[in-house]
Copies of this chain bind each other. A is one copy, B any other.
Amino acid sequence: MASARTIERLSVYRRLLGDIDPKRRAGVYSHELAIKAVATAAQVRRDLMEIGFSGRPRTGYDVQGLAAALADYLDAPESEGIALVGVGDLGRALLNYSSGRHPKLHIAVAFDNDTSKTGRVICGCRCHHIRSSRRVIPKQGIRMAILAVPAPAAQSVATRIVDDGIMGLINFTPVRLHLPPEVYVENFDVTVSLEKMAFFTRQHAVDADEDRP
């Protein structure tokens, strides 16, 4: 099976393909995708090999065919609904961002514990009280969630929704969750990113100094 790194790049390639009008450009070369995706041409070819899609020498990869192959590989056959848990600023940003953007993934429902938010439609999405998750999540057949609650609530809410049938989640809180191993967890940690940026920005500056004659 493809590695997480490969999946990430495939997702990027797919978006880049969206920038190409297939009526104007029928084919795209590995080195073109590579430049836009900040990768190498060989890497692109390897990744596409992984999903079993072939190009042709001289003409490259068929834009429409590749888009279809990527969709086939990355997407589920049916559209999948995602639960947003926690409708703060971040939750609203995610709702606005993702509404209608993806062909097969959409935020289907939101949960919060603030009764001024529950029972309403926020950014086009119905918001329920978290206490009704047990009823709503199985009923709508939802298997994935975005966790965007305050840190102190993270573990208990995560445990709860996993009980309700959630099998994969993106964790926007800084808490390292303790969940059964069959649940896929992706940590999206802002503090780590900030520290990494600070570290490598400093490092880049040092490198540039050292390169000076």
The interface of chain A, by Cβ under 8 A from chain B, is 1, 4, 7-8, 11-12, 15-16, 36-38, 74-76, 80, 82, 88-90, 92-94, 96-98, 101-102, 104-105, 143-144, 167-170, 174, 176, 182-184, 186, 188-205, 208
Contacts and interface: CB of A to CB of B under 8 A. Distances in A.
B196 A11 contact: yes
> Dominant SS at the A interface?
helix
Copies in the complex: 2
A204 B190 contact: no
A149 to B, nearest CB: 12
Contacts of A7: 195-196, 199-200
A143 B201 CA distance: 8
Given A93-B93, A182-B208, A105 B200 contact: no
B143 A195 contact: no
